[in-house]
């Protein structure tokens, strides 16, 4: 089972979820947004649209997280870091983590039992998302960790990063080089063509 799950994780894009990107565009089109336009319709200016083409036109601030999946079994270990938040403009780090959990659940197709929602600790209005999910089955252990989050906008054809996640904390400086390399991969994609890190 370890090898089967590893292959499924290897098939995940480390910087981008195409399905989520396309879904956000389809949703924004229903609201009257044209993702191919280089001008924004004034009546949509203050809308809560979530597609990346909309974020490019408005320069709206949005968020991203750095995640890590780790698979372990009988002394074997596989680990992969991923960025999420660059496929749709979401203003919540916990929501990005939850969408990633759904992406993983869909990919694993029942091989491991994962929670329906990203888990929280605390009571009532004081609930906070926990930074890690750990599940185990038949000697295979999967850990999904949020290694931190930050904010960005897409003004001036750049990915302008700043700040940190209140829910998960800042992305630690030890990951800076990896994150920069991942963002360089992102701007090579057609969806971010012409953008700089």
In a domain, 118, yes or no: yes
33 lies in a domain? yes
Is 181 within a domain? yes
Q: In angstroms, rounded to a whole number, what is the distance separating the alpha carbons of residues 53 and 65?
A: 20
Q: Using CA atoms, how far apart are residues 123 and 157, in angstroms rounded to an integer?
A: 42
Q: What residues are paired with 128 via a beta bridge? A: 121
Distance, CA of 67 to CA of 168 (rounded, Å): 11
**SS3 label, residue 30:** helix
Q: Which structural domain range is residue 61 located in?
A: 2-192
Is 79 part of a structural domain of the chain? Answer: yes
pLDDT for residue 42: 82
Q: What is the DSSP string of 71-116?
A: EEETTEEEEEEEEESSSS--S-HHHHHHHHHHHHHHHHTTSS---S
Q: Average pLDDT of 171-187?
A: 96
Q: pLDDT tens digits, residue range 71-118?
A: 999 999 999 999 999 999 999 999 999 999 999 999 998 899 999 999
Does some domain include residue 101?
A: yes
Q: Quick check: 50 and 90 in contact, CB under 8 A?
A: yes
User: Does a structural domain hold residue 170?
Assistant: yes
Which token pair is 5?
């799950």
Q: How far is CA 140 from CA 114, 125, 145, in A?
A: 13, 35, 16
What is the pTM for the complete model shown? 0.94
pLDDT at 44: 85
| Nearest Cα residue to 98 out of 115, 82, 112, 113 | 115
CA dihedral 176, 177, 179, 185 (to 10 degrees): 160
Both ends of the chain: CA-CA distance in Å?
38
Domain count within the chain: 1
- The predicted-structure confidence for 15-68, as pLDDT tens digits, reads as follows 999 999 999 999 999 999 999 988 888 888 778 899 999 999 999 999 999 999
- 140: in domain: yes
In a domain, 197, yes or no: no
């Amino acid at each position: 089972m370890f090898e089967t799950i590893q292959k499924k994780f290897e098939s995940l894009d480390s910087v981008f979820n195409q399905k989520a990107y396309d879904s956000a565009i389809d949703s924004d089109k229903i609201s009257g947004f044209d993702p191919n336009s280089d001008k924004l319709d004034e009546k949509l200016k203050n809308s809560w649209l979530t597609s990346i083409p909309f974020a490019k036109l408005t320069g709206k601030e949005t968020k991203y997280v750095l995640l890590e999946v780790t698979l372990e079994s009988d002394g074997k270990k596989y680990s992969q870091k991923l960025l999420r938040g660059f496929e749709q403009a979401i203003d919540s780090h916990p929501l990005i983590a939850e969408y990633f959990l759904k992406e993983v659940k869909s990919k694993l197709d029942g091989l491991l039992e994962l929670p329906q929602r990203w888990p929280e600790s605390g009571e009532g209005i004081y609930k906070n998302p926990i930074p890690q999910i750990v599940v185990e089955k038949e000697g295979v252990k999967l850990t999904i960790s949020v290694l931190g989050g930050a904010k960005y906008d897409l003004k001036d054809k750049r990915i302008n990063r700043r700040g940190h996640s209140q829910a998960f904390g800042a992305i630690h400086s030890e990951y800076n080089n990896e994150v920069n390399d991942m963002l360089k991969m992102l701007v090579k994609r057609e969806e971010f063509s012409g953008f700089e890190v």
